[in-house]
Chains A and B, each alone.
Chain A
Amino acid sequence: MATKQKYETQPLKCWGRAKEIRENFYRDYAQAHEKGGLRWAGGAWTFGAIPCGLGDDVWSITSEPYAASIAANKEFSMRCLEATERAGYARDLCSYMRNYWGSVILNEYLWGGPFPKPDFIWQDHICCSHAKWYQVVCDLEPGIPQFCIDVAVGPYNEITENKVDYIVGQMHDGIAWLEKVTGRAYDDEKLIQAVHNECRSTALWAEVCTLNKAIPAPLEEKTMYSLYVLGTLMKHSKIVADFYEELRDEVRERVANQIAAVPNEQCRLMSDTQPPWGFLSLFRYLEKFGAVSIGSLYTFGLIGVWEVKPDGTWGPRTTPQEQGVDIKTRDQALRILTDWNLSKPEWQHFYSPHLKTDMMVRIAKEWSLDGVMLHYNRGCEGLTVGIAENRLGLIEAGFPVMTFEGNMGDEREFDLHKTMTRVDAFMETLGVKK
């Protein structure tokens, strides 16, 4: 470390458990049939609590984190991307999608063996690609039934009964469809439990992120990626909710004892959108300057669910359990699930970059930031939408912004050394020295 150590640092005690949960997730999906269970595929954003009503032996694979894992394996990723291009799909499409399709086309599972074909697809449509991602999967692997829920009902501050009814109506249809394609009876109690788990886990993740307001920050973003990802795998599971509670307690302890993620912390940043997964060493490079990326709207708000607290600051949203809400019916569970998800920060930018700018400015202020690094991510139109307006808004609010162009899942569109040079220049601008 070039700059002088100011704080004590320690590895996370719960790190091993996080790794184990992730490994089990991919193994359980692949081995579902051996255990007599079912497997389904869908996005990390999908209403994963709903298929839980089919039983405890139903395992999923969420496509974005799976594709991000592929992206981190450069050799396999390149073969996947090239296989997709050979099949006729454009190179500028979502790189998660292209990595995922490549794995299907090659019939190779990242964790070994052939790609485990799902029994059904349970998706939601958040961007231009999400439903069509699986339309193509059905072309590549014919015969998989798919159901996709449209969630494009506008930002949370404009939600009406009509909009909620649209989503909940599709969910009810979806449950009838799940019963039909699996031949199983649906258990509302399991749904209700999964909704409780999801509210608990996503509020807990927001609480963990809130703790990062502390100086020094107890977590840095590279580590947070490995933790938040569990929510993208199964935010509706008790395993993840329990883990986030354990994590929250440990992070509280770190804050109380000034245990820093970056021991020479002297500059606080946030990023935006998914990072180039094959090049997370960029965050280690920041540390040479004592710069800590405390997170981003992406790491905070894709899984975390938030609310404005009485003191006007951002904190974890109060869960239905904490409010004493007793969920008794399927419809009630689905309405809570809908409302909860629509309030997620990372939904809002789809409708207005200006809402996203407001949230980013809030983070910049409340987390005491010195600057912002925006990843102009060629791999994801969904999270990059409006990013240029975010840049203008942050500058207008007085925060220095550095942009770098790249791709979360296609290494051909990212130049690490050029980006490091930009970091050098940004640090110089901020007056931060190694």
Chain B
Amino acid sequence: MYGFISWLESTGFSTALRNTTWVWPTCESIHFVGLTMLVGAAVFFDWRLMGFMRQGPIAAAKAFMPYGIAGFALNLVTGTLFFVMRPSLYAFSAAWWAKMFFIVLAGLNAMLFETTLGARVLTLGRGEAPPASFKIVGCVSLLSWFAVLYFGRMLPYIGTGN
């Protein structure tokens, strides 16, 4: 892995981006706007899955998700650019690996939900208590996204590998 990291850091693309002063602050600004979109929409849906705001149809709460996914897309692009610019900062950071772990966990949790429970969601009536499986999926998602925030922001301070 070390070879890949040092190769990536030495590419012309990485160097040029790194040496353009406005790129990093611009990506950070977009990354922070994106996180509010993602967390806002995802936590809202998780909250509904856990059984809050039951008078609102669950399908309507799900209508916010494309906006959350748009936030995720912004952050995937800007996050990839951060990695390309300074791969050694991230690849050897325990906090970055923890952050990636929770992103993957949230993603797998969402995929599991979509493939196994997704259809059942739409049949849940107004005011009806969600089954335990919905609550667990919602809770895992909510906690994962806050863990992603935590390890992302703590990245400069935890396990920087030097």
Q: A and B bound?
A: no
